[in-house]
Chain A
Amino acid sequence: MTARLHVDWTACDGRGLCAELLPELLERDPWGYPIPRRPGPIEVPEDLVRHAEKATALCPLLALRLGQTAH
Chain B
Amino acid sequence: MTASTHADTLLGDRTTSFAAHLARRGPIPWRGAPGRLVADLETAGLTGRGGAGFPAWRKASTALDGRDPVVVANGAEGEPLSRKDATLLRDNPHVVLDGLQLVAEAVGAARAYLYVPAGRVSAAVLAERRAHDRLPVTVVTAPERFVAGEESAVIAALEGGRNPLPRFRTRPAPVSGVDGRPTVVHNVETLAHVAMIARHGPSWFRRRGTPDEPGTFLATVGGSVATPGVHEVPVGIPLDELLAMAGGSGQVALIGGYHGVWAPVGPVPVSRAGLAPYGGTPGAGIVHALPAHRCPLRFAAEVTRYLADQTAGQCGPCLNGLPAIAATMTALAAGRAQARRLAWLTGLVTGRGACHHPDGTARFVRSTLTTFAAEVAAHEHGHCPTEERS
A10 to B318, CA, bound (A): 10
A65 to B170, CA, bound (A): 9
Among the listed stretches B41-49, B82-90, B206-214, B346-354, which one makes contact with chain A, having 4 or more residues with CB under 8 Å of it?
B346-354
Verify A29–B170 contact, CB threshold 8 A.
no
**Which B243-276 residues sit within 8 Å CB-CB of chain A?**
none
A30 to B353, CA, bound (A): 16
Partner of B354, one of A10, A32, A65: A10
Q: Mostly helix, strand, loop or mixed at chain A's interface? A: loop
Verify A13–B348 contact, CB threshold 8 A.
no
Partner of A9, one of B315, B347, B348, B350: B315
Interface residues of B (CB under 8 A from A): 165-168, 170, 314-318, 320-321, 347-348, 350-354
Interface string of A1-42 (1 = CB under 8 A from B): 000001111111110000000000000011111010001110
Is A45 positioned at the interface, with any CB of B under 8 Å from its CB? no
Residues in A whose Cβ lies below 8 Å from that of B316: 9, 12-14, 31-33
Verify B317–A29 contact, CB threshold 8 A.
yes
Query: Closest approach, in angstroms, between the C-beta of A10 and any C-beta of chain B?
Result: 4
A7 to B314, CA, bound (A): 13
Residues in B whose Cβ lies below 8 Å from that of A41: 351
| Total A-B contacts with CB atoms under 8 angstroms apart | 48
Residues in A whose Cβ lies below 8 Å from that of B320: 30-31, 33
Verify B170–A9 contact, CB threshold 8 A.
no
Query: Closest approach, in angstroms, between the C-beta of A43 and any C-beta of chain B?
Result: 13
A49 to B167, CA, bound (A): 26
Residues in B whose Cβ lies below 8 Å from that of A33: 316-317, 320, 352
Which of B165, B167, B168, B320 has the most A CB atoms < 10 Å from its CB? B168
A55 to B371, CA, bound (A): 42
Interface bracket on A: 20 to 34
Partner of A35, one of B167, B170, B315, B348: B348
Residues in B whose Cβ lies below 8 Å from that of A39: 347, 350-351
Verify B168–A10 contact, CB threshold 8 A.
yes
Interface residues of A (CB under 8 A from B): 6-14, 29-33, 35, 39-41, 65, 67
A13 to B319, CA, bound (A): 11
* 10 extra A-B contacts, CB within 8 A, seeds A9-B315, A9-B354, A40-B351: A9-B317, A9-B352, A9-B353, A10-B167, A10-B168, A12-B316, A30-B320, A35-B352, A39-B347, A67-B170
Verify B348–A30 contact, CB threshold 8 A.
yes
A49 to B37, CA, bound (A): 45
A29 to B321, CA, bound (A): 10
19 contacts between A and B (CB under 8 A): A6-B170, A8-B354, A9-B314, A9-B353, A9-B354, A10-B166, A10-B167, A10-B168, A10-B314, A10-B315, A11-B168, A12-B316, A29-B317, A31-B317, A31-B321, A33-B320, A35-B352, A39-B347, A67-B170
Query: Closest approach, in angstroms, between the C-beta of A25 and any C-beta of chain B?
Result: 15
Residues in A whose Cβ lies below 8 Å from that of B350: 39
Residues in B whose Cβ lies below 8 Å from that of A32: 316
A13 to B348, CA, bound (A): 16
A10 to B347, CA, bound (A): 19
A38 to B348, CA, bound (A): 12
Residues in A whose Cβ lies below 8 Å from that of B314: 9-10
Residues in A whose Cβ lies below 8 Å from that of B347: 39
Residues in B whose Cβ lies below 8 Å from that of A14: 316
Which of B315, B316, B321, B352 has the most A CB atoms < 10 Å from its CB? B316
A31 to B354, CA, bound (A): 17
Minimum CB distance partner of B314 in chain A? A10
Minimum CB distance partner of B351 in chain A? A40
A31 to B317, CA, bound (A): 8
Residues in A whose Cβ lies below 8 Å from that of B348: 29-30, 35
A42 to B316, CA, bound (A): 18
A62 to B320, CA, bound (A): 21
A35 to B317, CA, bound (A): 10
